[in-house]
Amino acid sequence: MSVALTVVGSINLDFVATAATLPAPGETVTGATLARHPGGKGANQALAARRLGAAVQLIGATGKDGMADEALGLLRRDGVDLWGVATRPELATGVALIAVSAEGENQIIVAPGANAGVLPGDLPNTLEGAVILQLELPIPTVAAAAERATGFVAVNLAPAAVVPQTLLDRADLLVVNETEAAFYGESLHQSPGLVAVTLGGAGAKLFKDGVEIAAAAPPPVTVVDTTGAGDCFVAALAVALLEGQPPKDALAFACTAGALAVTRAGAQPSLPTRAEVDAALAGA
């Protein structure tokens, strides 16, 4: 089944410093190597869905600066439709400053730039079909996108923030990690849709009406960089559910895609193709 979806979300350029250890508060760690990669949760999820075989269009914004083309480079190369990406000359392209340890753990600080300028009035009056959302755009914009969507709505509640209950109620799929699940508490399970909770290396669980309906573990992999793995999981789970895969199979598909994403450096360069995910599942 061919899947088409729209991602409304953030677009960043990631500056990634990889060092032996992550700094403690007030500590300086030297000897790092620096890399630049396209990122942003919205752009990551759009590219992940595209590499998994979906037809994807992205709605967001960049600045009119040297970082914009770099931030959009892989999306263009892989065929994501960028008709909805606006250019904001008065704002900088969003930037994420990411520190990565030798074990692949990370610390991230985001300067949203043009992402913060994406307002409800910038969205189409109707968003046809399936939509994936995150919380790196202004919350009113995210809520408006969910309200205007005509089909399946997946909301990655990250980074954790106070959101209107109407957003939770509209979502067909909510995705959180353990920290975000603790932040939202029981309000997650009061929503009518599915709730996926990721558990890092332990995999993920899927809930309906507060009852666990599926669990899956990722294949064993060597961790290089966990940046973007959660975004890969979100996109993969949404694509699998839209394809009509049963919940348990969809969750296993998403866990496998997320695991493959940690085996390479960078949020977007690490995202696996459909062939890679299918091969890993067949091997398991």
Active-site residue numbers?
Answer: 231
CA-angle at 44, arms to 171 and 125, nearest 5°: 45
| Phi, psi at 8, each rounded to 5° | -110, 110
CB proximity list for 268: less than 8 A, separation 6 or greater: 37, 38, 39, 43, 44, 47, 74, 228
37, HSE (Cβ side, Cα atoms, 13 Å): 25
| Distance of alpha carbon 258 from alpha carbon 203, whole angstroms | 9
- Which of these, 39, 81, 91, 18, lies nearest to 231 by C-alpha position? 39
Q: How far is CA 191 from the centre of its chain?
A: 21
> In the chain, at which residue ranges do the beta strands (DSSP E only) sit?
4-8, 12-18, 33-39, 55-63, 81-88, 94-100, 106-111, 130-133, 153-156, 173-177, 194-198, 204-208, 211-216
AA letter at 213: I
CB 40 within 8 A of CB 9: yes
Beta-strand relationship, 33-39 and 106-111: unpaired
Q: Which token pair is 93?
A: 């392209």
AA letter at 202: A
AA letter at 26: G
